[in-house]
Structure 1
């Protein structure tokens, strides 16, 4: 019996110490693909993926860099997307932030190698420029019950700070019950000073993260378009859901517009991952939402996005986990206790 699935690709921050060795541990049979990626890295004078993945020691300073983390996550996530069981029918593909680039390849709108070129180029440009930074802050409580008033108040505070002289701050990513904010140091510090500490973790700065999905990234977008030609893009083989909730359909997509979105709006405007997940649920009603590895941290944002939409009547955290116990709908391939459900 066929199982339908929406594949969801993760972004930065998902290849951490526990993920070291992920490519060799889970995908030794795809070594030839990784070697093709290595060749692209070698041409640019960069350390190869296979060497990075085989390293004996993980350091945050090195592995959180855009020119290291991005290609590693791409290779791991794409390989996972290609390792799904034969009885799984992929009905749509989406991703979070950098995961959009991976989704393009997983859906066939970029070849494996061209997807890698896009990720490696943009990750390197982000690291070279490293304009601004990011932080994460929740607006929902522990029950995941939607709190639109709290969210509105936080966004109003962001606008207040952004209007201050010398301060840049904007909503970078809508991430389930979290807001990812991005800006310059003055803007980020002002927000941290204006909001209370929550769960002893938030507001939480993200190391080696630039001000993704804001106007501050305009120079990166411009350089990305100069380096990455529109003819890299092809018709997707699966429906693609972008960071606005727009669906790009197979055999009906303007590939030049897809290039413009990917290296324009997607770089400089808010990425609404919540809406992407909710669009996937409403438009495709899959049996499963499969989050590819590495890591499994994106699962919470997917679950919270579904709860906010009251998907299948789930209006809080308890309802979601009750559904998971009866019939799992969310599978994280980065979790050993769930991976087998997707790979068979």
Structure 2
């Protein structure tokens, strides 16, 4: 039960693609005082023969080829997001649950206490490295809502029907990777992705959008990565979560009663090779935990739209469109993005 005067909050951890040029220096700007955490992360990276996170964050300029690589982006995002979690003002917010998108599931595990800080880094760093080394397939994103975040009749079914048709072609592989609010992330091999891009019209000036340095996450193509991950990471890393966790199926893992073997198996099995339903995760958080607010960890702000769209699809607080969401944010915001300075000021100590 929340203490009097506090708002209840579900924390949402971001995935890959959230540390871009505007985020360069994010950890240094916001978490210089957490140098001990960064020093420990850097030591781990140096021991593994990898570039320290501090060097990446403090680089003179952003490099897409360097900063968006899975083996660099994953620990960089983890450090920023986990430090953001530690900086949430607990006098103002009672955190009642944690979830995340894609790689954000690993961050959520650490925030909820199912992994300790360095255990979380180990999982993030290992899986980011393995996916970069294997680099199997790619991803693209396509919306089924209009610019007002309302569903376009028939659009979602059209996308999924085309996806299935292409996947059935010889030499093509294409599958649903992430349910991301009003967008679908598809993943597959080059033939499958190219075939999709050729068939559907360009929308909103940027879709279908390829996601750079992204493999075919959350599809059967990642079976080799899942197998290597299980070989590299021990079950003993996982402990009972201290906070409720919501996974990429919308499943709820509760403190004191979570099956740790099942949590390990999900994290390095189903979560890697099957669709990640972020929309379902947000729906479960909204309906089962009923928070006053959602707090989106940084770096970046790109996941904010997907969270809001997922809440609209869930019918949360009567929201039915982007206009409803925008109007509500003008008063006492229900979604606080720590990547936005004005909202960070409301969430952080």
Query: Normalised by the size of structure 2, how large is the TM-score?
Result: 0.97
Q: 2:264 aligns with which of 259, 265, 271?
A: 259
Q: In the alignment, which residue of structure 2 is the partner of 1:117?
A: 122
1:220-239 equivalences under 5 Å are 220-239=225-244
Matched, 1:176 2:176: no
Q: 1:131-151: CA deviations, max 9, x gaps?
A: 000001111011111346211
Matched, 1:53 2:57: yes
Query: Which SS does the other structure have where 1:264 is aligned?
Result: helix
Quote the offset at 1:261 in angstroms. Answer: 0.3
CA distance in 2, matches of 1:282, 1:3: 16
Q: In the alignment, which residue of structure 2 is the partner of 1:304?
A: 309
Q: In the alignment, which residue of structure 1 is the partner of 2:334?
A: 329
Q: Give the 4+ runs in structure 1 shifted more than 3 A.
A: none
Deviates most, 237-246 or 14-23: 14-23
Q: Any stretches of 5+ residues in structure 1 without a counterpart?
A: none
Q: Assess, with a 3 A threshold, how the Cα gap between structure 1 residues 148 and 228 changes in structure 2: closer, same or farther.
A: farther
Quote the offset at 1:284 in angstroms. Answer: 1.0
Q: 1:283 aligns with which of 283, 288, 306?
A: 288
Q: Is the 8 A contact 2:147 2:204 kept in 1?
A: no
Q: In the alignment, which residue of structure 1 is the partner of 2:246?
A: 241
Q: What's the C-alpha RMSD, in Å, of the aligned pairs?
A: 0.8
Matched, 1:164 2:169: yes
CA distance in 1, matches of 2:64, 2:313: 33
Q: 1:71 aligns with which of 69, 72, 75?
A: 75
Query: Which SS does the other structure have where 2:87 is aligned?
Result: coil
CA distance in 1, matches of 2:215, 2:126: 15
CA distance in 1, matches of 2:56, 2:323: 40
Matched, 1:33 2:46: no
Matched, 1:94 2:105: no
Query: Normalised by the size of structure 1, how large is the TM-score?
Result: 0.99
Q: 1:250-289: CA deviations, max 9, x gaps?
A: 0000111101000000000000001100110001111110
Query: Which SS does the other structure have where 1:135 is aligned?
Result: strand
Matched, 1:11 2:12: no
Q: 2:160 aligns with which of 152, 155, 160?
A: 155
Matched, 1:198 2:203: yes
Query: Which SS does the other structure have where 1:82 is aligned?
Result: helix
Query: Which SS does the other structure have where 2:154 is aligned?
Result: helix
